[in-house]
Amino acid sequence: MIANEGESQELGYTEAVEKTIAGIVPIEPSPSGAFAKHVMRSDMLKNLGGENDTNHTLTRRLLLLLEGEWLVNPAEFKLLRREIIKIYVKATRRDHQLALFLLNDIIRYWRTMTVDYMYKTTEDQKPWAIRNIKLTFSRKLLYASGVFSVGMTANRSEEAKVDILENLFDLPVIDRMIDICGASRAKRVLESYDLFLENLEKSKVREELKVIKPGDHENIIFRKLKNEGHHFTRSLMNLFEETFHSTHPIRRAMMF
């Protein structure tokens, strides 16, 4: 939860918000995770990329941009998101350039998720299969939606870059991809993603994925979803190439 300085001082404010959240999301955040504590608004606007920019602060900031939503005070939420976007875009010196600061942080967040997966499933002994499938589909689509969004900032003024990103980040991830690429072009990607959602909605599938033994990559449910995940990744790559011409600056930025 993000609060203004004054709100954090109000008696019972955080308790009331926690109660409201618990009524919507029954599973509590991990005590050691990025969402186990209250964060001041001012803290979201400083130290971007600095030595104190931890995995937790990076996670909070990028998820606020890429899939954040408000419970109360939508105007304040949108203002905070726009301010963060402005910080990223201000580092872009020329109109023809991409919002490279933001792109690099989106890439950093994706790599942080993949490394975090390895830690949690090896050293921390967390269920590996369901995390693997989520990383393959939902986390990857979130990452792709951020990369594609930055691709739309090329050859735009600073103000236009901010407006484009704000409008795209205001959309749910699937709608964002459709807005950028078009429904027909994104069809194959979304078909694979629908299969993932359809399966993860089934409690039986989720429970089986949670108890698959380490190294059992031939489990029928896991193998079905993982194979579809390979199709999903290839379709995302094709969509990227179809959306952004070989001379588009996002191509170079993703490689070098």
Q: DSSP for 177-222, please give it.
A: HHHHH-TTTTHHHHHHHHHHHHHHT-HHHHHHHHHPPTT-TT-HHH
**Amino acid 83: pLDDT:** 97
**Amino acid 12: pLDDT:** 73
- Residue 226 placed within a domain: yes
- Residue 43 placed within a domain: no
The count of structural domains within the chain is 1
Q: How far is CA 205 from CA 121, 123, 189, 198, 226, in A?
A: 19, 25, 22, 10, 13
Residue 138 CA to its chain's centroid (Å): 9
CA distance 117 to 199: 21
- Residue 139 placed within a domain: yes
**Amino acid 204: pLDDT:** 96
Backbone angles phi, psi at 71, to 5 degrees: -100, -40
- Residue 16 placed within a domain: no
Nearest of 74, 5, 7, 90 to residue 42 by alpha carbon: 5
**Amino acid 82: pLDDT:** 98
Task: Domain of residue 183: give its range.
Answer: 93-255
- pLDDT, tens digit only, all 256 positions of the chain: 566 655 555 557 778 877 887 888 777 777 666 776 778 888 999 989 999 999 999 999 999 999 999 887 899 999 999 999 999 999 888 888 999 999 999 999 999 999 999 999 999 889 999 999 999 999 999 999 999 999 999 999 999 999 999 999 999 999 999 999 999 999 999 999 999 999 999 999 999 999 999 989 999 999 999 999 999 999 999 999 999 999 999 999 998 8
**Amino acid 202: pLDDT:** 97
- Residue 212 placed within a domain: yes
- Residue 240 placed within a domain: yes
**Amino acid 18: pLDDT:** 79
- Residue 202 placed within a domain: yes
**Amino acid 154: pLDDT:** 96
- Residue 203 placed within a domain: yes
